[in-house]
Structure 1
């Protein structure tokens, strides 16, 4: 029971490694505590210890789910609590699975002990951790939130991300922990080899920090990100429609000296056709005259259904349709069985259709890789629009999360996409945190939360492709499968 309690607490502690606290070193301490608890545990014990760790981690790290369901979905408190707890209980299965795989199946002879220790700590444990994060990122549409690599964005441990993505950052953390346990558990030549691994990997990562994977063009873009600060409870109220339009149009007209103005996700709360003649056509004339591009979120109806869209407006019009919808937020899976859900939670846009094309949008001579809200959590989907795209734009409505951990975590996720692709990022949100991020994932400027704000700045578009853009997640997954297979074979010999 004591071990389970320690596991829960160490899992909860891991949340502090991520934004907003960003205590990156905890990402090494917390999994190391977990491995200490696993050391003498049998398979059954390892499963429960891993499950307790996951329960502590996810119940704190994604506690903002309650805000979305109750505060803004207006679900009854018991129902919101039950869904949040169920979500955490489900996610905790992944660390439990890691515990089951890494646990020794049988006692090993003294002659095989050193091989088994190396296999467990350096090959199996890091590989199955990363593979479990990868599976969590796509199973049942996926939830790639709080992958360990995100915690290292402001350290040199993240320099591997342009090579193999955020999952490779997770591997770096866990394999260094594994090397540490190998050193601790070994003697003689094995210990020397473990120390060698602990020293060489950071040196390689430091050398990667000097690599410029992409090239800057010889032109900058003057940009404006308009954060309207329309509260979620007001967004869909008819009394707020005209004030919302006046706010965004007025602030745009004040910033027509910029090359690009960006509004948040569904900044215009309704269908495109509602605003086309009365709002967008007059605004388009002004944009054309000043040669300013405007990107804004709106709902768009076509023959496939209603879409969450990002429109680029100047003398012509282009549109990107959101491809990866949020389950239970933008559509209801298993709709025939879950029709009662709409009676419990207010879901103003729960009947949306997914876009089918990863098309870029044009801003002057440059191409933009667009993502809407939660889509930027899927690195490979953003990379689908590269190397054609010269910079990234994410529009989001983080008002759903309220004053919780989620807006900070979401910005952290967006920053990783900039680092992986070697592209600057513009992030426009309804209530914050809007941001301008450089091609290394470093924040250039941000907006204050819950305030009306126009974020002004400039970016330099870039060309070329990082290794991650070419391989996406395939490289790290293949390497982890090889590591896992080699470790399991070595442990059985």
Structure 2
């Protein structure tokens, strides 16, 4: 492919005046290696925003390369560029999933384990990659002839709608909005207004304004070549002049508008975080304790795993009970067996274990992560629920939450009639987890509690629904023992965002880290170390406030979609009338 781009047509003064407005004539370019490289750079930039890097500020410029390219190429080329950008982003952000390898503790051979890890990573990367592909197609196919502001509205509406759609499905993690958590708390306060999509929309708008500021320069053609000096490659860009002799300039008003909007959002966040509202609206204080058991999966599921788990959590529970906490929280699957307790306040014929006896002695309620029986009609005898039980001071399970958002393949087999045989040959799973009802409301002696187990932290609507139903405190329980520091750090970031959206304190109990306490402004009050046994006691507060997002949900996305569809319909109407 040629390094040169087609020379632009000459512009008269009148056409130059129209340049920043509607682009009546767009000459599409053939896809070149320069286009591919530019898209890849943008994807890498956004891939550096979540942990382990945490360079959140790159999110505010990382969409610019793809934005500019979609205004220069056709739909097919745009889809390819979107795929490259998306593969770089989601592939980098989700690479931690390969930490499931090796799975020898599950009886999977080393080679099969590696194949599973790579296959899962590729699948979730491609699943996420579909969003920027569709976004790029819309940008190339529907916005090239629009004015910049209309293009920005459609861009924000499209990406917000795509993220909303993906959020309704079984796989969702790396939304654009999550790149700001937990490091950019000022902008994260925007999620109080319309959830995670408010942050996503803000990122798209700022990227769009910056892109539109330099689009006139970019549209005149850019020649890219590499020149080597002192053995270091230097990327040289040469912008051609227009044939008319006029050289396009930066559109400074878009730069000023981008700066104004960013500062406005930051000032809003600062006002929220530093107002006395937080202290004034805190309700009942609650002394909570967290036990981070730090029991690796190979140990937990070994023949001695049950006894080790009981000893470890009984030890942590006893330490915290002596310190005067009012309740203790344990991680997801703290006990690796079915916890046969009814929700009728009676122990029944259950055999008491070491942890049961500790509870009966110390009389402090405990949130216990364990497996429950799946009582749904048609469930397999080996099926279970991934549950969090509230055990009261008398040792009875008085409340129970069953995980709703299950992990595909890891906790259930998707498309079982088609894929069940293949997956069963690659996996040691004997049964599946059965999802709980999405309408669950968890009652406790302290009020209604918002519960999330592990993967559910990535689904804002799951927490918003419970907050709208009166939930006053967030408790999340996770395992995370498969992975190194990256995944637990990203998981912590997800819970920080959920705390801000709902204006709730969050208590995070994990097996190997990072456990933590987060306040309603997203500030991490305490975070554990990784791969350590820890107990921690702290004070949190019940809250009954309701953010705009809690009351109305994600109202911004449908509003943007309606406006975007209106713009598109109006342009089509004018086209038919020959205007």
Are 1:116 and 1:491, in contact at CA under 8 Å, matched by a contact in 2?
no
With 192-201 and 389-398 compared, the bigger mean Cα shift is at 192-201
The aligned residue for residue 118 of structure 1 is 149
Aligned twin of 1:406? 487
Q: Do 2:449 and 2:472's aligned partners in 1 also have CA atoms closer than 8 Å? A: yes
Name the counterpart of 1:99.
Answer: 136
Pair 269,207 (structure 1): closer, same or farther in 2 beyond 3 Å = same
Measured in 1, the distance between the counterparts of 2:256 and 2:360 equals 66
1:196 deviates by: 3.8
Deviations 1:32-55 (A, max 9, x none): 122233231222211110011111
SS at match of 1:375: helix
Q: CA deviation at 1:366?
A: 3.1
CA distance in structure 2 between the aligned counterparts of 1:67 and 1:346, rounded to whole angstroms: 18
- Counterpart CA distance in 1 for 2:149 and 2:442 is 49
Cα contact 1:434–1:455 (8 A) shared by 2 = no
Q: 2:351: which partner in 1?
A: 277
Deviates more, 1:194-203 or 1:319-328: 194-203
Q: Does 1:48 align with 2:80?
A: yes
CA gap of 1:484–1:346, structure 2 versus 1, over 3 A, is farther
Q: How does 1:184-223 map to 2 (within 5 A)?
A: 184-185=214-215, 192=253, 195-196=256-257, 198-200=259-261, 202-211=263-272, 216-223=281-288
Quickly say closer, same or farther: Cα 1:467–1:287, change in 2 above 3 A.
farther
How far does residue 229 in structure 1 lie from its aligned partner after superposition?
0.5
**1:396 pairs with one of 478, 481, 485:** 478
User: 2:28 matched to which residue of 1?
Assistant: none
What is the CA–CA distance in structure 2 between the aligned matches of 1:226 and 1:152, rounded to whole Å?
28
Partner of 2:45: 13
Q: How does 1:311-390 map to 2 (within 5 A)?
A: 311-315=389-393, 316=396, 317-338=398-419, 339-347=421-429, 350-356=431-437, 358-387=439-468, 388-390=470-472
Q: Distance in 1 between matches of 2:116 and 2:374?
A: 35
Stretch moving more, 325-334 or 275-284: 275-284
TM-score (norm 2): 0.77
Distance 1:328 1:449 in 2: 26
Which residue of structure 1 lines up, in the alignment, with residue 71 of structure 2? 39
Give the match's secondary structure for 2:99: helix
Output one character per residue of 1:355-404: Cα deviation in whole Å (capped at 9) or x when no partner.
1154343454332111111112111111111241111000001113x215
Q: Residues 491, 79 of structure 1: CA spacing in aligned structure 2 closer, same or farther, 3 A cutoff?
A: same
Partners of 1:118 and 1:356 lie apart in 2 by 43
Change in CA separation of 1:76 and 1:321 when aligned onto 2, cut-off 3 Å: closer
Aligned position for 1:480: 560
1:273 deviates by 2.4
Match of 2:308? 243
Equivalence for 1:422: 503
Whose radius of gyration is greater, 1 or 2? 2
Give the aligned partner of residue 308 of structure 1: 386
Mapped contact 2:320–2:537 kept (Cα < 8 A): no
Residue aligning to 1:133: 163
Q: Which of 295, 316, 324 is matched with 2:367 structurally?
A: 295
2:327 is the alignment partner of 1:260: yes
Within the alignment, does 1:30 sit opposite 2:67 as a pair?
Answer: no
CA contact (8 A) 1:287 1:314 kept: no
With over 3 angstroms needed to count, the CA separation of the structure-2 counterparts of 1:300 and 1:334, relative to structure 1, is same
- 2:25 corresponding residue in structure 1: none
Q: Structure 1: how far apart are the matches of 2:133 and 2:406?
A: 28
TM-score by length of 1: 0.89
Residue 205 (structure 1) shift: 4.8
Which is helix-richer, 1 or 2? 1
CA-to-partner distance for each residue in 1:213-262, whole Å, 9 max, x for gaps? 77633532222111111111222112121121011012211211211211
CA deviations over 1:312-347 (Å, ceiling 9, x no partner): 111352111111211111111222222231221334
Q: Distance in 1 between matches of 2:143 and 2:263?
A: 34
- The total of aligned residue pairs comes to 478
Distance 1:106 1:337, change over 3 A: closer
> Shift of residue 136 of structure 1?
1.9
When structure 1 is superposed on structure 2, of 17-26 and 46-55 the one drifting more is: 17-26
8 Å Cα contact 2:300/2:308 also seen in 1: no
> Counterparts of 1:41-190 in structure 2 under 5 Å?
41-68=73-100, 70-71=102-103, 74=108, 75-104=112-141, 108=145, 115-120=146-151, 122-139=152-169, 141-143=170-172, 145-153=173-181, 154-155=183-184, 156-185=186-215
TM-fit CA distance, 1:70 = 4.2
Report the 3-state secondary structure (helix = DSSP H, G, I; strand = E; otherwise coil) of the residue aligned with 2:409.
coil
- For 1:112, the equivalent position in structure 2 comes to none
Q: Is the 1:182–1:191 Cα contact (8 Å) retained in structure 2?
A: no
CA 1:131/1:283 → structure 2, altered by over 3 Å: closer, same or farther?
same
Work out the CA distance in 2 between the residues paired with 1:344 and 1:392.
Answer: 36
**Contact 2:187/2:265, CA 8 A, preserved across alignment:** no
Which stretch shifts more, 236-245 or 262-271?
Answer: 236-245
2-structure distance, mates of 1:251, 1:93: 45
Superposed displacement of residue 118, structure 1: 2.5
* Distance in 2 separating the partners of 1:185 and 1:198: 17
CA distance in 2, matches of 1:246, 1:177: 53
Cα 1:242/1:328, change in 2 over 3 Å = same
Q: 1:439 to 1:33 in 2, by over 3 A?
A: same
Q: Provide closer, same or farther for how the CA distance between residues 322 and 90 of structure 1 changes in structure 2, counting only shifts above 3 A.
A: closer
Contact 1:312–1:362 at 8 Å: present in 2 too? no
**Superposition map of 1:425-440 within 5 A:** 425-440=506-521
Ranges in structure 1 where 5+ consecutive residues have no aligned partner: 109-114
